[in-house]
Amino acid sequence: MDIHISGFIVQLRSLDDHSPLPGVTLGDIGGKFGSGAYNSMDNGVLRFDHVRIPRDQMLMRLSQVTREGKYVHSDVPKQLLYGTMVYVRQTIVADASKALSRAVCIAVRYSAIRKQFGSQDGGPETQVLNYKTQQSRLFPLLASAYAYRFVGQWLKWLYTDVNQKLEAKDYSTLPEAHACTAGLKSVTTSATADAIEECRKLCGGHGYLNSSGLPELFAVYVPACTYEGDNVVLLLQVARFLMKTVSQVAAGKQPVGTIAYMGNIQHLMQCKSAVNTAEDWLNPAAIKEVFEARALRMAVNCAQNISKAPSQEEGFSELSPDLLEAAVAHVQLIIVTKFIEKLQEDIPGPGVKEQLQKLCSIYALHLLHKHLGDFLSTGCVTARQGALANELLGKLYAQVRPNAVALVDAFDYTDHYLGSVLGRYDGDVYPALYEEAWKDPLNETVVPDGYQEHLRPLLKQQLKLSRL
Amino acid sequence: MDIHISGFIVQLRSLDDHSPLPGVTLGDIGGKFGSGAYNSMDNGVLRFDHVRIPRDQMLMRLSQVTREGKYVHSDVPKQLLYGTMVYVRQTIVADASKALSRAVCIAVRYSAIRKQFGSQDGGPETQVLNYKTQQSRLFPLLASAYAYRFVGQWLKWLYTDVNQKLEAKDYSTLPEAHACTAGLKSVTTSATADAIEECRKLCGGHGYLNSSGLPELFAVYVPACTYEGDNVVLLLQVARFLMKTVSQVAAGKQPVGTIAYMGNIQHLMQCKSAVNTAEDWLNPAAIKEVFEARALRMAVNCAQNISKAPSQEEGFSELSPDLLEAAVAHVQLIIVTKFIEKLQEDIPGPGVKEQLQKLCSIYALHLLHKHLGDFLSTGCVTARQGALANELLGKLYAQVRPNAVALVDAFDYTDHYLGSVLGRYDGDVYPALYEEAWKDPLNETVVPDGYQEHLRPLLKQQLKLSRL
C-alpha cells in the first residue's frame, strides 16, 4: 500500500441542527495560555469512525484519484508546493514586525511617562527612558521593529518574484527563497516573542496588569514560534541548505540571492575588519563585511566538522546545536543587509533617513555585541573593535532618545488597537490605570463575595478564641 | 518638614460587616497575567482621606514617635534592616530552583515520551529527547535547576551566619552578603522565568495547553523578576559594590566572602587558561580560574572606564549597560563556585556525585559558550579553548541523556504538585491529554452555545444567497 498525504474537505456537522454527522466525534482541545483570546481558536479533537469521503471532496489540483479508484501521482514538481509556504511565512514576518512595534510603542511611551529615582536634591525624578539601562534594552527592540518591517516588505516582493518564476517553470531560485523565508520566520518570531516579554518587564509591575495590553499580546503572539514550522526545525532546514551551498561553492558554483555572498569565499574567509574608531562602525560596508564573514565562517566551520564524522547524517545530527547558530548568523545577515539596502532608497520626510540610519546601526551593532563570541572566535573582529562597537552603541542610544517617542508614534497605532492604558497616545496614564482598576469584577461589590460565607465565620471564631 | 518612610498597621474594614472604615477607599487593582492565580493576590488600590493613625499602630522597633509627637531617629545602624532583605531574597532563590525544576521535570519527561521524525525506513520515530538540539536547550536548564538548589542551600547558611554576626554587632560582612543575595535573586529569577518559557516551547504545541501546567507556572513565576527589587536595579547595586571593591583592592584591602577572589588580582588580571584538550575543561580549577578572571577583568574594565568620565556618577550612569554585564559575570561565578564546593562534600548514593559533576560541568560550560564574547574579549580564554569547551558540552549531553529522566525524578514531585498531563510520572501522556480535552467548558454541549442565535441564521442566510 502506498501512503501519501492529501487534502480533503469533509462536512463535520449537520446543516440542520449543527450536530456532528454519524461517525464524527469532535470537540475543543482545552484551555490555552493567556486570558482567553486563543481559547476561541478551533484547535480541536477530531475522530472519524467509518466515514466515507466522496471522491470529489479531495483537493485534486495536483495528485488525483480516478473514478476507478486509482491514485494518480501529480507530475507537477514538488517545489510548486513551496510557493504557498513562502507566502504564509512572509505574512508571519510582517506580523512579527506589527506585534513587536505594538509592544515597543507601549514600552517607549510609558517609559517617557514613568519617573523613578534619580533625584538626590528633592527635584523631580528621572523619566525611566533616560536611564542608559532602559535604553540599552529598549532601543535595540525599537530598531528590530523597523528592521523586521523592511525585511517583511522585501519578502513580499520576493514572493511575487518567486511566483512569476514558478509560472515560467523556473525553479532555480526556489530552494534559496524557501530557506530564506523559513529562516526569517524563525528568527523574527523568536525574537519578537522574547521582545514582547522584555517590553512587559520594562514597564515594571504595571506591565503585569492585563490593562497594560502586554500579557495578552505575548500569549497571543508566542504560538508563532511553534506553528507553521517549529522555529528550531526551520533553522535546521536553513542549516541543511547552507551546508549544501558550501559544498557547491567549493565545487565552483556561484550562489544567488541572499546566499550570493558565499561566492565571495576567498575574501570573506581571511578578511579582517579595518575598523579603527568607534565611528568607523557607522559605515554600512564595514558592518556588512563582518556579518558576511561571521556567517560564512560559521557555516564553513560546521561543514568541516561534519566532514570528519563517520557519515554526513551523523555529523549533521551531532553538530546540530552549532548548525542552529550558523543558521541564525546567516538570517541576521539577511535582515541587516535588507535594512542597509532600504536606506539606499529615497526616503521622504526631512531627517527621516537619518533617524533610520541610526536605528540600522543600533540593530546591527547590538547583534554584534550580543553575539560577540561568534565574531571574535571566527576572527573577523578583534576585542578592541568589539569594544568600539559597544562604545558607539552608547552614543547612538543618546542620539535616538530625543526622537524615541516620535519613532513609535510613526507606527500610527490608535489607542483602540494598542489596547493599553500604559501606551496611551496622550500619556495620561495614571488616571486611566486608576479608572481601569475599578472595572475589575472584584470591585463590583464593596464587600467581596464570600465574606459572609467564609471570611466572617473565620474572623468571628478567631475573635472568640482570642478572648479565651 | 522631615520625610521618612515608616511602617504602620491600619485597620481598613469594619469587623462587623467588612465595609471600609470612614475615609478609606480600597479595591482590587485589576486583572493580571495568566489564567487567574495572580488575580486573587491582594494587590490593590488604597486611598486615605483624613484617616488618623493612633501612635501605637506605628512599627516602632527602630524609629519612634514620642507621646509628644516628636519623631525620634533610630540609633540602630541602618544595616540591620538588610537582614530581612537577605532572608527574603534567600527564599526567592530557593523558589527559583523549585519552579525551574518543575518546568524541567515536565519537559524532560514529555521529551522522553514524545516521538517525532527520524525514521526514513518505516521504523519507530525518534524520542525528541534524543535530538542534540533538544538536549542542548534542555540539559543546561536541568543543570541550572541543580545549581540554583545548591546555591539556595548555601544562601540559607549565609543568612544564619549574617544574623549571628549582626547580633554580635559585627556588620563587616553585611555589604558583601547584601550584594550577593541581591545578585543571586536577580540572576536566578530572570534565568528561571526564561527557562520555564523555553521548557514550554520544548513541549511543542502541547506546551501551550493549560493542562501542560507550563503557561500558568510561567505567569505565576515571572513576577519574581520585578518584585522585591527589579532585577536590573538589583544588578546595578551589585555593580556599585563591585566598583567599590575594585578601588578597595587597589588600596590594598583584602576582600572577603564571595568577593575574596578579587584579592587575587595580580594573577587573575594576566592569567591565561592552560586548557589544551576538551577534557581539560572537566577540571573544576580550570573552570573557576576563567570565571574568576572574566568577572574580575570586566569589573576592572568598567572601573577604568568610569574613571575617565567627568564624574564618578556620570561614568556609572553612562556605563551602566556594561556594569550590568559585569555584575552578571560576578554572580554566575558565585553559582559555579558553590556548585563546585558542593561536589567537594560527601554525597551519598552510588554514582550520584558523578552525575552531579557532569551537571556542574554542563552548567559552567554552557555559560562559557553563551557568554563566549566576555571570555574572549577579556583574554582569559582563546577561541580554540572556547571550541574545546563546546566540544565537551556535546559529549556531556550524550552522557547525561541515559540518566535525564532519573535526574528529574530525583526532585520527587508528585503528579498533583506538577499539575501537568505532559509531565506525568507514568508517562501515559496521550490518553490523559485526550481526557483533559473533554473537560473544556466548550465541550459541555455537543452543539456549542450560540449556534441557534448566531451561527444558524448566518448559515441559513448564506445558503439562500447561494441559491440565487
One domain, residues A135 and A274:
no
Question: In terms of domains, do A221 and A82 share one?
Answer: yes
Give the pLDDT confidence score for residue B462 in this predicted structure: 64
Nearest chain B CA: its distance from A157 CA (Å)? 31
Tell me, what's the pLDDT at A237?
A: 96
Domain shared by A273 and A395, yes or no: yes
Q: How many domains does chain B have?
A: 3
B27 lies in the same domain as B128: no
* Minimal CA separation from A435 to chain B, in Å: 10
Q: Which residue of B has its CA nearest to A383?
A: B377
Are B209 and A34 in contact (CB < 8 Å)? no
Establish if B234 belongs to a structural domain. Answer: no
- Asked whether B86 and B178 are in contact (CB, 8 A), the reply is yes
**What's the mean pLDDT when you consider all of chain B?**
94
CA A122 to chain centre: 43
* Set of chain A residues whose Cβ sits within 8 Å of the Cβ of B209: 29-32
Contact B225 A27 (CB under 8 A): no
CA nearest to A136, candidates A397, A342, A386: A397
For chain A, what is the total number of helices (H) and then of strands (E)?
16, 4
Inform me whether the pLDDT recorded for A122 exceeds 80: no
Residue B168 resides in a domain: yes
Question: CA of B338, closest CA in chain A: separation in Å?
Answer: 26
Nearest residue on chain B to A313, alpha-carbon basis: B118
DSSP-based three-state secondary structure for B312: helix
Tell me the nearest-neighbour CA distance from B209 into chain A, angstroms.
4
Residue A292 annotated to the active site: no
pLDDT at position A374, please?
98
A140-149, A216-225, A415-424, B458-467: least confidently modelled range = B458-467
Minimal C-alpha gap between B305 and chain A (Å): 11
**Over the stretch B442-466, which tens digit does the pLDDT of each residue have?**
899 999 888 888 888 888 876 556 5
Residue B255 lies in a domain: no
Which pLDDT belongs to residue B190?
98
State the pLDDT at residue A89: 93
Q: Closest to A226 (Cβ–Cβ): which among B136, B205, B369? A: B205
Q: Which residues of B touch A322 (CB under 8 A)?
A: 390
Q: Are residues B375 and B337 located together in one domain of the fold?
A: yes
- Are B367 and B392 in a shared domain? yes
Q: Given A228, A318, A341, A391, which residue is catalytic?
A: A228
B93: domain CATH number is 1.20.140.10
Q: Hey, are the CB atoms on A29 and B209 less than 8 Å from each other? A: yes
* B223 and B119 housed in the same domain: yes
Identify the domain boundary among A58, A76, A94: A76
State whether B376 and A372 contact (CB < 8 Å).
Answer: yes
- Identify all chain B residues contacting A15, using CB atoms and an 8 Å cutoff: 459, 463
Question: Is B439 close to A226, i.e. CB distance below 8 A?
Answer: no
Q: Which helix (H) or strand (E) holds B146?
A: helix B132-167
Report the first-to-last Cα separation within chain A, whole angstroms. Answer: 83
Q: Of B378, B436, B463, which has the smallest distance from its Cβ to A30's Cβ?
A: B436
Any bridge partners for residue A127, and if so which? Answer: A115
Looking at every residue in chain A, the average pLDDT score rounds to 94
Residue B351, phi-psi category: left (phi > 0), alpha (psi -120 to 50), beta (remainder) = left
**Which residues have C-beta within 8 Å of that of residue A102, sequence separation ≥ 6?**
A213, A217, A411, A413, A417, A418
Kindly report the nearest CA distance between residue A205 and chain B, in angstroms.
Answer: 6
pLDDT at B465: 60
In total, the C-beta contacts within 8 angstroms joining chain A to chain B are: 200
How many percent of chain A have pLDDT more than 90?
81
pLDDT digits (tens, 9 = 90+) for A415-468: 999 999 999 999 999 999 999 999 998 899 999 888 888 888 888 876 555 555
Interface test with B, best of A376, A395, A459 (most B CBs within 10 A): A376
Write the residue in B39, B45, B373 that is nearest to A372 by C-beta.
B373
B226, B233, B302, B435: which to substitute to probe chain A, counting the most A Cβ within 10 Å?
Answer: B226
Q: Does residue A98 share a domain with residue A217?
A: yes
Is residue B468 scored above 60 in pLDDT? no
Query: Tens of pLDDT along B61-75?
Result: 888 899 998 988 887
Q: Is the pLDDT of residue B166 over 90?
A: no
pLDDT digits (tens, 9 = 90+) for A158-188: 999 998 998 898 988 888 999 999 999 999 9
Residues of A in contact with B447 (CB under 8 A): 13, 17-19
* Same domain, residue pair A199 and A114: yes
Residue B14 pLDDT exceeds 80: yes
> What's the pLDDT at A1?
47
A372–B372 C-beta distance less than 8 A: yes
Residue-number span of the structural domain to which A162 is assigned: 78-229
Contact B31 A373 (CB under 8 A): no
Contact: B377, A377; criterion CB under 8 Å: no
Chain A: residue nearest B460 by CA? A15
Of B317, B324, B440, the CB nearest to A30: B440
pLDDT confidence tier of residue B39, bands split at 50, 70 and 90: confident
Residue A393 covered by a domain = yes
pLDDT of A50 strictly over 90: yes
Q: Residue A61 belongs to a domain with what CATH number?
A: 2.40.110.10
Flag whether pLDDT at A97 surpasses 90.
yes
| Together in a domain, A85 and A58 | no
What residue type is assigned to position A124 of the chain?
A: P
Taking CB atoms and an 8 Å limit, are A439 and B219 in contact across chains? no
* A212 inside domain: yes
Closest to A386 (Cβ–Cβ): which among B132, B209, B377? Answer: B377
B451 interaction partners in chain A (CB closer than 8 Å): 18
Q: Is B93 found in the same domain as B62?
A: no
Chain A residues near residue B373 by CB distance under 8 angstroms: 369, 371-373, 375-376, 386
Distance from CA of B79 to the nearest CA of A (A): 20
Residue A47 covered by a domain: yes
Tell me which of A352, A384, A402 is where a domain ends.
A402
B363 contacts B336 by C-beta, under 8 angstroms: yes
> For B325-338, what is the mean pLDDT?
98
Where in the sequence numbering do the catalytic residues of B fall? Answer: 228
Per-range mean pLDDT, top range of A78-87, A111-120, B180-189:
B180-189
Kindly state the average pLDDT of the residues B343-364: 96
Beta bridge partners of B45: B27
d(CA B66, CA B104): 55
- Find the mean pLDDT for residues B170-199: 95
B390 pLDDT above the threshold of 80: yes
Strand residue runs (E) in B150-212? none
User: Residue type for A28, please?
Assistant: D
- Residues belonging to chain A: 468
CB contacts of B208 in chain A (<8 Å) are 32-33, 38, 222-223, 226
Cell triple for residue A245? Answer: 551551498
Which among B19, B28, B442 is the nearest to A440, CB-wise? B28
Q: Tell me: do A206 and A95 sit in the same domain.
A: yes
Please identify, among B171, B198, B229, the residue that sits at the C-terminal boundary of a domain.
B229
Q: B463 to chain A: which residues are within 8 Å by CB?
A: 15
Residue B442 forms part of a structural domain: no
Look at residue B135 in the predicted model and tell me its pLDDT.
Answer: 98
Contact B437, A27 (CB under 8 A): yes
Tell me whether residues B201 and A455 touch, CB distance under 8 A.
Answer: no
Judge whether B15 lies within some domain: yes
Span A291-304, average pLDDT: 98
In three state form, how does the secondary structure of A110-144 look?
A: HHHHCECCCCCCCCCCCEHHHCHHHHHHHHHHHHH
Per-residue confidence (pLDDT) for residue A52, from 0 to 100 = 94
Greatest distance between any 2 Cα atoms in chain B: 95
- For the cut 50, the answer to whether the pLDDT of residue B265 exceeds it is yes
